[in-house]
Amino acid sequence: MSKEKTVHQVLARKYRPQGFDELVGQSAVSQTLANALTSKRVHHAYLFTGPRGCGKTTTARILAKALNCEKGPTPEPCGECAPCREIALSSCLDVMEMDAASNTGVEDVRQMIIETVALAPARDRYKVFIIDEAHMLSASAFNALLKTIEEPPPYVVFVLATTEAHKVPATIASRCQRFKFRPAPADILSEYLAVIAKKEKVAVDAEALDLLARAAEGSLRDAVSLLDQCRSAADGRITRDIVREMFGFVPQDLLIGVAQALLAREPKALAGWLKKIYEEGVEPAQLLKDLRAAIEGAYLVKLGAGAPIDALWTKALEGASAEGLGFLLRRLNRALEELRYGDSPRLALELGLFSAMEAAHDLGAWVARLEALEKRLAAGGGGSALSPARGAVSWTALVEAVSKEKISLGAALEKGRGEPAPGGGYLIRFAKPFDLDMAKRSASLLEAALARLAGRPVALELSLGAADASAAADIVDRGMPEPAVGADAPPGTRWKDVEGGGGAVGGLKNAESVFGGKARIVKKQHP
């Protein structure tokens, strides 16, 4: 007597959803389809779009079961009758699945669909055609399919599934009811994996489940497959370290060390961490992705738009600003792009990280300080240039704010000049009458932008003529020699120190504190 062999079934197939209520992360899709079945309003063609592994083909099979179940059409197929069991095994004669990735031509469409669509179902209520990766069909194949999808027999239902909806011709898409499948959130994937692990009696840490859910990037199928892989490799309990080792995740301490070295701008410290990373055999792309993911979470928290992050990262990045983290994210994105198209991953990694130490993310602060200094110099000095008066308006910020709302007005402002006016108002001068007229017509927009930037209502003044720079002195920075006669100076122009100008006073003292060196006031002497 021979013993019956036990056939191993992978978890992704074993736990494939068999009903609308089992779909993970697609509640809108499942509810809409269930309502349509309940109200007997079944469409003749559906287009399922979304990333890989999110349940498009699985949902198509559930829909086929719901239509052909012996108790149906019903939103709750029994799963026990012959149609339900055969559809689950992809062996039903009345439910035909076509892989458009390997059957792209017009002849394939003609043989599998057009020549069989007129035949009545062999047994079931509906004949269902499921076309997977539909965007791979050729243009001629889509044209051949068009008339059939437009006016199919009453017993035919089409389901087209694709990861690239933009490649499906509009003539086809417009004849289908479209359903958008979205990546499953990491927390939902983690909970689902915990349920499967419990059913399979697999011991797994919560942190390991979170890592697996993150690695799946929204794909339910990938998440379950990764869990299956870990179960095969782990000897006993699945831990965070096992998952990191298997899938190349960068250890947390290395990521935090790199992030802190970048924010502190310490090249030697970064080089030390990179050496450890190379010794660990971490892939450069994986390091950049993991670092980006961690910093992104902290960045969103700084903006007040994200969920709380790990306490270790909260402590490590507590002194970082949202602006600085945003700058790092942009640099990491650029490094990933260069790594993708370059021939030296290690060089792309090092260039990307070391260039991220540049002080460019302090540019906004420097601009604000320099604008404050400029205003105080023009006004005759006084006070600290590093702490502008409350409610001061930045000219650059005003131009940017207006440009976002009205590009033409922003372009006009770029050719003008703005400055604080007596009494707390703001004066804008224009060189051309046309620009002045445009500003007058949009005065309310300008006043609203000024109020937002200053945090209070600001009286607006508009005038024609270049900005009066007579109050601002020419500055010779860092003890440079007397300036030569410029190209724009009259012939014979000479320069001399202003009486008593041997040292800086007032606003010029502030300039020295910002730039260093010595400043002195000079004026032109004409022959």
Q: What is the per-residue pLDDT across 18-65, written as a single tens digit (0 to 9) for each?
A: 999 999 989 899 999 999 999 999 999 999 999 999 999 999 999 999
- Asked whether 413 and 399 are in contact (CB, 8 A), the reply is yes
- Asked whether 417 and 473 are in contact (CB, 8 A), the reply is no
- Asked whether 47 and 177 are in contact (CB, 8 A), the reply is yes
pLDDT of residue 519: 56
Q: Strands, E, within 81-185: which ranges?
A: 95-99, 127-132, 156-162, 177-180
> How would CATH label the architecture of 390-464?
2-Layer Sandwich (3.30)
In degrees, rounded to 5, the angle at the alpha carbon of residue 447 between the alpha carbons of residues 442 and 452 is 130
Q: Please report the DSSP string for 69-107 in residue order.
A: -TT-S-SS--S-SHHHHHHHTT--TTEEEEETTT--SHH
In sequence order, what are the beta bridge partners of 474?
Answer: 522
The encoded tokens of residue 232 equal 């095969």
- Looking at CATH, the fold of the domain delimited by 186-247 is given as Helicase, Ruva Protein; domain 3 (1.10.8)
pLDDT of residue 277: 87
CA-CA distance, 82 to 267, in Å (whole number)?
68
CA-CA distance, 482 to 442, in Å (whole number)?
45
pLDDT of residue 523: 52
Q: What is the per-residue pLDDT across 123-172, written as a single tens digit (0 to 9) for each?
A: 999 999 999 999 999 999 999 999 899 889 999 999 999 999 999 999 99
- Looking at CATH, the fold of the domain delimited by 252-357 is given as Zinc Finger, Delta Prime; domain 3 (1.20.272)
CA-CA distance, 453 to 485, in Å (whole number)?
40
**Going edge to edge, which strands form the sheet with 127-132?**
95-99, 127-132, 156-162, 45-49, 177-180
Can you list the residues of the chain whose pLDDT is less than 50? 1-2, 4, 360-361, 382-390, 467-504, 506, 514, 524, 527
Residues 6+ apart with CB under 8 A from 143: 106
Q: Where are the domains of the chain?
A: 11-180, 186-247, 252-357, 390-464, 474-525
Return the CATH number of the domain spanning residue range 11-180.
3.40.50.300
Same fold, 252-357 and 390-464: no
Place of tokens 């650029």: 334
Residues in the chain, total: 527
CA-CA distance, 264 to 254, in Å (whole number)?
15
pLDDT of residue 104: 85
Please list, residue by residue across 279-302, b when 16 or more beta carbons sit within 10 angstroms of its beta carbon and e when fewer do: eeebebbebbebbbebbbbbbebb
Backbone angles phi, psi at 402, to 5 degrees: -70, -40
CA-CA distance, 282 to 517, in Å (whole number)?
47
In degrees, rounded to 5, the angle at the alpha carbon of residue 111 between the alpha carbons of residues 45 and 56 is 35
Residues 6+ apart with CB under 8 A from 401: 449, 452, 453
Please list, residue by residue across 446-456, b when 16 or more beta carbons sit within 10 angstroms of its beta carbon and e when fewer do: bebbbeebbee
